[in-house]
Amino acid sequence: MRKGPIAAPQATQHRPWAAAVLSALVAAALTGCGVPDDDAGGSKAGDPAVAEDGARFSTSDKETARLGSDAEPGAFPRTVEHASGSTEITEKPSRVVVLDTGELDDVLSLGVTPVGMAESDSPEGAPPYLADRLSDVEVVGGINDLNVEAIAALKPDLIVGSELRAARLYDTLSEIAPTVFSIRPGFPWKENFLLVGDALGAEKKALDVLNTYQERADEVRESVSGDPEISLVRFLPGKIRLYADLSFIGVILDDAGLRRPKVQDVEELAVEVSQEDIDKGDADWIFYSSYGPRDSTDEAAVTKGGLWKSLDAVQDDKAVAVDDEVWFLGLGPTGAMLVLDDLEEKLGTS
């Protein structure tokens, strides 16, 4: 995938900062910031324009596809054009800090174990499907509450994150180490992965990983008999969502050529429904999960109710609970491959 340069500021010079100075910069950067915090929004340090209701949300995949480096594969130094500017990386990074679960999946999918990571807001903190590879990785705060001093203490040579989570901290982080930001996690996960590959000088490997993923998606589609319609229902505290095309899982279903109900086959992250409207989530198959503890959502109330039990998919024993950490929070190639395995197990006939 060829990525052309875009106009951006000059590359940042990197200098060591005292912890007290970093604290002051962080406090100043966050003053007056109040971006809603949920799976679709951002943090108080993020850019609301790239959140679900933001002006740049729906185009973030196309914008990200234009980013990257024109350097020869694997060659350093290189300049990477990214969502927050232009960053020079003088040598192949070996001490990487990741600021979200998508970037964590990305670097691990490229064979790089980060020295530091931000934990998600889920009870597990880190994705359980990656847990066996994280024993030596230091935690640098949460994805919505980064500990900049902890990041600096690790002496990273690359920081990767997104404008959604940390736009207002970009200048501060860039003083610690070369920093490369995507626009947002979620449905641009493949474009984000290629950008991380560029920053690591692993662009060939990144393309190989995505080609392998698409081959696997094609295999899954070939294993499915007929043309089943697939619905995605996610229970969150205080809301119920039917996930649509502009989501991590929506992209995977599209890549596997699996059909969606009309209400979900839209250019949005998700459509919210009430308990009384849960019939809008019906299809040939329903895959559902809860974000966080199930007792913090309406999952039990809905799935034990008469309306849910009357749905065609439920009547046909084709309503399947799935792992939220993988299906909705995986956000990278390793998570995507696990989703494909689940789809083949449930839908495949050959």
Residue ranges and CATH numbers for the domains of the chain are: 19-201 (3.40.50.1980), 222-347 (3.40.50.1980)
Please state whether the predicted TM-score (pTM) of the whole model is above 0.85. Answer: yes
In our burial notation (b when 16+ CB lie closer than 10 A, e otherwise), range 269-281 reads bbbebeeeebebb
Q: For the residues of 12-68, what is the DSSP string, one character each?
A: PP-----HHHHHHHHHHHHTT-----SSSS--TTS-GGGSTTSTTSTTHHHHHHT-B
Residue type, 32: G
325 in Cβ contact with 122 (< 8 Å)? yes
Neighbour-count burial of 192, counting CB atoms closer than 10 A to its CB (0-12 exposed, 13-18 middle, 19+ buried): buried
pLDDT value of position 42? 53
pLDDT value of position 49? 67
**Tens digit of each residue's pLDDT, the chain (350 residues):** 333 333 333 333 333 333 443 444 444 344 333 333 344 455 566 667 666 767 677 889 999 999 999 999 999 999 999 999 999 999 999 999 999 999 999 999 999 999 999 998 877 788 999 999 999 999 999 999 999 999 999 999 999 999 999 999 999 999 999 999 999 999 999 999 999 999 999 999 999 999 999 999 999 999 999 999 999 999 999 999 999 999 999 999 999 999 999 999 999 999 999 999 999 999 999 999 999 899 999 999 999 999 999 999 999 999 999 999 999 999 999 999 999 999 999 999 86
Q: Phi first, then psi: what are they for 217, rounded to 5°?
A: -60, -40
Q: Phi first, then psi: what are they for 239, rounded to 5°?
A: -155, 160
pLDDT value of position 56? 72
pLDDT value of position 23? 45
